[in-house]
Every structure is written in structure tokens, then in C-alpha cells.
Structure 1
Amino acid sequence: MAEDDRREAAPLSFLLCAAEVARMLGLGTGAEVPEDRRARHLAHAVRKPLLESAGLPEELFASLMAAAVYDPDPSFCRWFVEPAVYAFGRRRVMTALLEYLRTGTQAEQAGAKRAWYCAHVPLRADRSPAYAPDGSRDPALDETRNVTNEWRETSDAQARASAAARDRSKA
């Protein structure tokens, strides 16, 4: 899902996001599962193929990030964040989450905050075939110092603006 598409589309739901990831992986739609459980069913179905893949197609990145941001459960958004970190690098994942924090709706910002925590997942060579055969990985993929600083600055600015708005409404 392209960034511009995300902004112009009707509000997304976790079900739509999870279904898009499943579709891109060539998995079923989960139509046999009751709708109230379908999103979690699809998320569960994509978890193993995502983690077992040595590489993920570029076009999957935005859909993974959308699914992570729209997942209402902070325990499960990791199912989308972790494989993205392995395949695309922590830096790229965190940069995408920073963009949601900066420009997203309130719901997207809250989802980005949940997913941000998951983006710090410890990486282990034995956990993903995304590593080179010798267990190495390009360190630039996971260098996040400046992205983390930008996240803090953005969060702090949003907190100050929110506090100022509260103060104005009380006056």
C-alpha cells in the first residue's frame, strides 16, 4: 500500500490491513472465519511465512507497516513489525513509524507508538533467514540514533502542543 494511497483511502481497519498482507503472501482470505475473529486469524496465518522468509518483496513494506499501526493489540502488532525489521531493517521500520507519528491521524499516531515499542525487538541470526549465511547483517540497516532522536523531538513537541491546547481550553 503506497503512502499516498494510505492518506487518500477511506479509513483503514486492521482487518483490511491484515487481509492485504495475506493477499500479498498468496494466503487465503479467511472468509471461513467469523468476521469478528478474521483479522487476528489472518495475522496469525501470515506470521510464520513472514518470519521464515529470507527476504520480503519491497511492495509488502507499506502493508506491513499499516497492519502494525492498525493492529489494536500492542502485544500482537509485533507480528508485523518483527519480520519487517528483519527484512527491511530497524532504521527503515522506525522511519516509517516516525512518519505515522508526524502526519497520521490520532489513531495512526497511537498505533505508531505501540509499534515503536515492538521495533526494538532484539535481532537474532537464528530467528530469521534474513541474515547472511555467516550470521552477519549490514549494521546500517539497524542504525537508528538519528531516527530515535527525531521520534523524541516529535513526541515532545506533540506533548507540548497537547498541553498548550488543554491549557487554552481551561482558560
Structure 2
Amino acid sequence: MADEERNEADPRSFLTCAAEVARLMDLGSAADVPEARRARHLAHAVRKPLLERTHLPEEFFAPLMAAAVYDPDPSFCRWFIEPAVYAFGRRRVMSTLLDYLRTGTNAEQAGAKRAWYCAHVPLRANRSPAYAPDGSRDPAMDDSRDVMDKWRETLRRSAM
């Protein structure tokens, strides 16, 4: 089996996660980009269009979260977390990362820890039209104090 086929068959690779987000955005597969750089190329291609949308359909949520968790670079997983926070709310994003931390594989737990920092991105109305397309944002979308407490408790328990 060719490397490209193996990556396409592995739902747990950063490349397949980034490719799924690009597919949802109708941006293509970047087959002309060398495989070693393809995932980062796709991530870069989706970054700006994701932030420019006033709404992301529900089908985007799980692929965005998977791409953020599987992104090996903690500096870039924000490219997936930030649009998810704007469109779906900080609470939901953090709750999903908490689920990865609690039940994920070792790789998923490490990825959730990297992405957790990005989930604290400051929200600004002028950064994304998804912030408040109707002029107001429900504060419950971003109230995450209890989720942060659960995160800290889960980390504390895992350190014992």
C-alpha cells in the first residue's frame, strides 16, 4: 500500500483531519503538494475562509476538533480551534477537549492539552463574522468556568 493510501485510510492522522476540513470547505485535496507538507498546506488553505464565514454547519465541528487535536504543532492548532470557538462557542470546544483528555488515546490527550491553550483565544467581534452574526452573542456559549474546573481536576487525578 502506498503511503498516500495509508494516510487516507488512517482517520487518526493530521493529514486526514486537515483534508476533511478542506473537503468540507470545497478546497480540494492539494494532491500536487508533496505529502510531507500537504497537511500544513491544507491547514493554511482553510484558515482564513473558516474565520470569514458567518456560520459553520454542524458537520464542521467534529472535523475541526479532530484537526486541532491531531495537529502536531501547538502554534498552529489555533487555526482550527479559533473558528470553532467563534462558531460553536468556547464552552462546547472546551468540553470536547475535556472529553479527549478523559477518554482519548495518549496522542489525543497530548493533542487536547496543546489545543486547550488555544481555546482561550480572546473573542473580538471584528475578528470573525461568526462572533455575532445577528448582533449579539449568547454568553452561555462561552461560559466555561465549570469546564475549566473539570479540566484541572482531570489533570490532577491523572498526575496521581
Q: TM-score, normalised by structure 2?
A: 0.91
1:69 matched to which residue of 2? Answer: 69
Residue 75 of structure 1: how far off its partner (Å): 0.2
Separation in 2 of the partners of 1:129 and 1:117? 23
1:93 matched to which residue of 2? Answer: 93
The structure 1 segments of at least 4 consecutive aligned residues displaced by more than 4 Å after TM superposition are none
1:104 matched to which residue of 2? Answer: 104
Separation in 1 of the partners of 2:133 and 2:19? 32
Deviates more, 1:132-141 or 1:118-127: 132-141
% same residue: 78
Residue 130 of structure 1: how far off its partner (Å): 1.0
Structure 1 residues 134 and 64, CA, compared in 2 at 3 Å: closer, same or farther? Answer: closer
Residue 131 of structure 1: how far off its partner (Å): 2.9
Residue 59 of structure 1: how far off its partner (Å): 0.8
State how many pairs are aligned. Answer: 152
1:148 matched to which residue of 2? Answer: 148
Q: Confirm or deny: 8 A CA contact 1:15 1:39 kept in the other structure.
A: yes
Aligned-partner residue type, residue 153 of structure 2: E
Residue 135 of structure 1: how far off its partner (Å): 4.9
2:111 matched to 1:114? no
Separation in 2 of the partners of 1:141 and 1:77? 21
Separation in 1 of the partners of 2:21 and 2:11? 17
Q: TM-score, normalised by structure 1?
A: 0.86
Q: Confirm or deny: 8 A CA contact 2:11 2:17 kept in the other structure.
A: no
Separation in 2 of the partners of 1:73 and 1:133? 31
Gaps of 5+ in 2: 1-8
Tell me the secondary structure at the aligned position of residue 98 of structure 1: helix
Aligned-partner residue type, residue 109 of structure 1: Q
Aligned-partner residue type, residue 18 of structure 2: A
Q: Confirm or deny: 8 A CA contact 1:54 1:128 kept in the other structure.
A: yes
Deviates more, 1:125-134 or 1:146-155: 125-134
Tell me the secondary structure at the aligned position of residue 130 of structure 1: helix
Residue 27 of structure 1: how far off its partner (Å): 0.9
- Larger Rg over CA atoms: 1
Aligned-partner residue type, residue 23 of structure 1: R
Aligned-partner residue type, residue 50 of structure 1: L
* RMSD (Å), alpha carbons: 1.4
Separation in 1 of the partners of 2:38 and 2:67? 14
Q: Confirm or deny: 8 A CA contact 1:72 1:111 kept in the other structure.
A: yes
Aligned-partner residue type, residue 151 of structure 2: W
Gaps of 5+ in 1: 1-8, 161-171
Cα distance per residue 1:23-80 (max 9 Å; x no partner): 0111110101000000000000000110000110101100000000000000000000
2:59 matched to which residue of 1? Answer: 59
Cα distance per residue 1:112-136 (max 9 Å; x no partner): 0000000000000000101335753
